[in-house]
A and B are shown apart, each in its own frame.
Chain A
Amino acid sequence: MFIMSVKQLLRKPGRMFLFFSLLASSTALLIFAIVSMVACGQRIDIVESQFTTIATVTQNAEPGDGILKAEILEFDSPDYIVPPETRPFLLAYNPQLYTTNIQYTADSIHIVEFSPLESEQMSNNSVPVKIEKIYYNDYDRTSNTINNLMEKDLEPGDIISIRQEQGPVTLLEPGKRYIANLSYNQQDEYSPYFGPFSTQYDAQGHQISDGGRPRIEEVTKDFWLPGGRGEIWMNWVEAHQWEKNTTALPVLPTNSLNVLPSFHSKNAYINDGREITQEEFAGGAKVCMLPQSLMSRNILSIGDKIRLPLRCALYGYVPNGYKTLNFNCGYFFTPLDANGDLYEPFWEEEYEIVGSYKQLSEENNELTYDVIIVPRQSVEATWDDCIAYYEPMNGLNASFQIPNGKIAEFNASLHFAAPAASKLEITYHDNGYENIMSSLLNTRLSSMLLLSVGCIAIVVVIILLLYFFVVREKRRTAIERSLGMTRVQCYISSLSGIFLLALLAVATGSGIGWTVMHTVMEFQLQKPSAFSLSSTAADENDESAIPAEEREDIAYFSREYSLWAENEQFETTLELDTEAVSIHNRIYYATPLLVLFIFTTLAFILTRKNLSIEPITLLGGG
């Protein structure tokens, strides 16, 4: 029966070859369409994972405006991936950690007690004084300017000149004693600088201290009594001594690396270890990330633990070469609270270093020198009573994350639900996501349409095949029945030949699809490393060599000179590619099996219909 069935097919070789070609091509097209759609979806997911959309928040405050926090933008929206956060710098003072800011130079600071030799009340007049006691001396001993060459540590008995150039003038009377923070100036004189003052703010951004900045204070009888100004001056001295021996390191608490503008723009990247995971951020794990320069400076490695005693918070402070984290460089903030006491550590914990980061360029960003990143939830104490500086949000220290592609929609919801948003400047950054994804989503739609067409094509081919080789053969079936063949034998006679034809055709189509896709997949596993010189680069010595990007067989870009690729996770990429290969392998088996199943089912139905017709009716021509 089987051989007879095959012979019947061979009697029409043209038609047989035509259907073989069509079925094989349609199967190959269907496999291509399915793999293309699956791959397109995977690629879209990969590309989408490269992009994040954040919004930075800036308050352009006018005089008299209250200070707002980004948290006022919170509303009951499921679209926040990371809710709005205002990030302060929390200053950590650990004498065992050294800063990388080697350009710090000490200001001229001499905290002394003195007695005037003459009376003077006029500003800008120089008064000779005698130094009685020394509490603190410091100046830049490395510079070779004339000023610094003549400056020296003051000692009791020294006679110097003081000129009150700035601030309210204090009457200096002979016979009295005064205490001051003096700074050496260009005319071989000293000017009073800032005495102890506080810059403490409350959590709403209101200054708690009275804002007074004394320069010269008289040492009265009760000056040194408990609770007197003397204690505050000693705290001031201690603060300067502490600052000299222990530099402040900025700790940045955050809920996600994605909301940090430097990481979002890919300017910052992990060069060793790993990122803090979202689970660790959410759970408040005691982990941290350090800049590579700080790790090198302190000879630290991944896995080491560092102690971070946090003393005070600075909101909106932007450290730079001029405004540093050393309070006595400009006195933009002080380590004294409103009562004149030094801030005590409000939180102290050991943090494990899980990763280090570098930056591609030193842009104006939130990752100033030495910034240590920790999960916000890991700081379990509040710092509302230790805020030493407060400026409005500046776009670097306030941001939130939303899903990709939803900027317009989200912005409308935000302004509706949180009217305070109108007082703020909210800038969205998506790294070009909306421009690129619209193209990729079009390709996904096209892939789906192609799949539909592939399905239609294969169904049409199967129907036509069965029409010509089963439906049109009902007379033959009738003859076979009338010659005494059983129903089973008729099934075999009708179907075995075309089943073999279909099997060979779908197998060929699947083979064609596999061969082509396999060739493509091989190139996916040949991504070059950061310093690979040969895999995609044209031969330097062969000027006639085709440049890499013009070669059809290469689809990857050189990672040379790309610092971000130093630790590119090829293992993860290979895992994704391996998973993709296994998905595609299933498609190569499943698709022809599905086609054969449809074919066989329809063939049986049509043959059964043929067999249900009385042979006499067909052969009689009725």
Chain B
Amino acid sequence: MRIINRKLQRREKLFMGATPFIAVLLLYVVASHIRRLDNPADKLLPSLETMGASFWRMAFVADKRSGDLLLWTDTFDSLMRLGVGMGIATTIALVVGIAIGFIPHARSSLAPFVATISLIPPITILPILFIVFGLGEASKIMLIVLGTAPVMVRSIAQVVMDIPREMIIKAETLGASVWQMIWRLVLPQTLPRLITALRLGLVPGWIFLISAEAIASTGGLGYRIFLVRRYLAMDVILPYVFWITLLAFIIDRLLLLLSKRAFPWHHLGGESL
């Protein structure tokens, strides 16, 4: 039978999915072991036990100086920044995206501008962000917003433009005003795709969050990673990377769940990733 026609059983699927993870883990354990034969205190590839102990210390042992549980304060700081940043980006994406996608005047005046802005790597204009927004939370949040919003705007504008013309005509023949069409037709049709855009936007969102925290801060997951990198504490960095990955994965799944709960009609068509 051709390979494309072979159906996998549930257990096979699970096994196939787990294989790359197990392979990487094994690779790490072996490489770490070989390195530690030379130098038991090797910092580059610490043992799983060392990483576990460091993670435990970060999560459940109060910091000597501040008395904080660093993992949780870092997580809180980072999620706060990411949440506010992505919230602003999402709002901008929704408002500007619908305007561009639905109103010809807005499209003509904003679409080329947004397309241009989305090509600027925000990190390159960082000094300007500092001057305008200060060195505090605002410039970090703005970095996330600038890094994610333009692409999300474009994606939402495309979603709005892809609404079948027939539906808009139909709404017009039912006597809808422009505002009513936005509230009852465009917005509901766009919201599930907005969640998709948000899920995709979170990928650069995390990257910009970590970069922002590397620049100037007093806490956060990216701050901790860049701080302890100064003494090559991979035993802290690797668990933090794992933690960030886990958080990102959970947020992604929660958004998918939200989309399925809030917009059941959108998911009737088939399985989504």
Specify whether A and B are partners: no
Interface residues of B (CB under 8 A from A): none
Which A residues lie at the B interface, using CB under 8 A? none
